[in-house]
Structure formats: C-alpha cells, structure tokens
Chains A and B, each alone.
Chain A
C-alpha cells in the first residue's frame, strides 16, 4: 500500500494531529510497571456487563442460571480481550509498515504514539487473558489476496477497518469502565483503554472523512458504491466476531453453532447491534460513507 504520490496523508489535518500528539505526550503512562495485577479475580461475579453479553435479551439468557451467566461473562470478557489482541496485531502491522515512508510524513509522529499505546493495550489484554483465563481465544481469520491495486481505495479500507474496530471496542470499554457490578480491576483496564482510544478514534474518523471526500471526487459512482457495500459487510462481520461458538461451548451450552446463528438472527440482538454501533453509524452517514444506518440491507 502506498499513499497518493501527489499528496501527503493528513495534509488538511495538521492542527488536529498536532493536538492529538500533545495529548498523547501529556497522558503517557507505563503499563508495564504501573498496573497492580490482583492475584485472582472472583468467579462468582460478572466479568463483562450483563447487558453487553451476547445472549442478553433472548430466551437463552432467560434459561441460563446465575452461575453459568457468571461463567459466560468471564468467557465473553476473555473473547472480547482476545479480539482486541488480534485486532491490535493487525493494526500494528499496517501502521508500522508505513512509518516514515513517502506520503506518511505528516502522520508519522502520531503513528509513533499510536504504536506505543496499542502495544501497551495488546500487552495488558493478553496478560489478562493468560493470567486469569489461562488462554486467549484464537483468531480464525486468514490473509486474503488483496482486492485490487488502487492504493487510495486500499488506504481507505485499511483506516475504515481500524477505526470501526476501535469504535466497537470503545462502546464496550466505556460501559464496563463504569459498571460497579464488575471487579474494580476490570473497570480499570477498560477505562485505561478507553482513554487512549478516544485519541485514536478522533484521528481515525478525521482521516477517514478526508480520504473518502477525495475518493468521491476522483472515483466512479460504481467504485463508491462498492466501498459502501464493503463497509456494510465489514460492520456486520465485526459484530459477528462478538459471538464466538467456542465461548458457548466452554460454558457447556448446547448446540453452540446453532445457538450462535440463532443469536445473530434474533431481532432484539439486531437492535442491540445498532446501539453498539450508534456512534460510528452516525459518523458514517455524516461523512456520506453510508447513505443510511441499516447495514443489514
């Protein structure tokens, strides 16, 4: 992937990039030394907010006993943190590849802070999973052949994926950071991530809007429509990651694949997805990347 040769990425965003760099420097922390890791976390408590559980609002939720709900919440927390680890790995590989390369001069300083902070996030999410869960849920995605050689479209897709992932995660982080039913340590980790992600999301959304505005001016209506179709598909795909059949299997819930399919088709759950995606959907419509918020159509 190469940035457009006639323009440097982020040319119109210098003031905001400068501000974000200043904020990153002011908020510098040391997760390797500063976090006080409890020896253990109680099993008879929620590890993920009850309303964020993938079964909430469905007959499955009504049928699961309290103890199994706690176990499910632990596994869904581990799945959520595992998704963060895998997602960050992908983000880091993309961003590092373009540090101080032609076209990325303006954004490189912010990229350094981004890499620094995301590395820390990956560290503490992975450590949490391994220390308190003894595992991470595996990443079952695979590298596909690149869709095309249009560097500006590929650039848009890369930043779309990064930003959407961060927005979805942030919804969960924010809710869990203030949920008193969760152990204070789980609240703390979620707040730590939320604070850094606010800057990353701000950067990503500005960049995305800027790149897409240029694409609308330079690409065909068919290309733009293809991007909109992909965006909807990617949103749906991202939500589906939250429903892991291995989570249900671990808790001992029957017919885990069928359960997953049923949950994804459940009308109440679809409405929950719109809530999770409320902020990014609003922005995507504002930026004209989507024409409406119904990514299911």
Chain B
C-alpha cells in the first residue's frame, strides 16, 4: 500500500468509527465506508495528495470502489 493510499485509508477509517480495518480490495461503497456525504471530501483529499484536479466528467463511481481502484485511477 502506498503512502497516498494509506492516508486515504486512514481518512476513511476516521469517518467510519465502527470500522477497524479493511484491505485495498474491499468495496468501500457497498461496505458503507464511503457514502455520498463524504464523497466531495474524498475528491478534495485525492486532489491534495495527487496534486491533480479530478475531472468529474471523466470518472465514475467504479473508480472509487476500492483503495486499489483509487490508486490506479488517481495516483499513477
């Protein structure tokens, strides 16, 4: 797990107190760790860590399903 992914994971855990841990293949949307109310904050965090603007018109929910998909899409 890269440092960026770890920071995102820690942020998600801070928003989901009932979750103690999850791996990079865990579906965070289905699992209820990421919901619509947190999404914008996650986008801003990804932008801050990556240094790149996230063009919402070029992404879909599938890009945010797991730490692995987030890493692949936004940190290359």
Contacts and interface: CB of A to CB of B under 8 A. Distances in A.
B12 interface: no
A140 B56 contact: yes
Interface string A260-283: 100000000000000000000000
A102 interface: no
B44 A260 contact: yes
A257 B44 contact: yes
Given A140-B56, A144-B29, A145-B29, A257 B37 contact: no
How many chain B residues sit at the interface, stated as a range, is 10 to 19
A233 interface: yes
A61 interface: no
A237 B37 contact: yes
Contact of B40 (A145, A230, A240): A240
A101 B61 CA distance: 30
B40 A140 contact: yes
Interface of B: 29, 35-37, 39-41, 43-45, 47-48, 54, 56, 59-61, 64
Interface of A: 138-145, 230, 233-234, 236-237, 240-241, 245, 257, 260
Given A245-B47, A257-B47, 9 more contacts: A140-B43, A140-B44, A140-B54, A141-B36, A145-B29, A145-B61, A233-B37, A234-B37, A257-B48
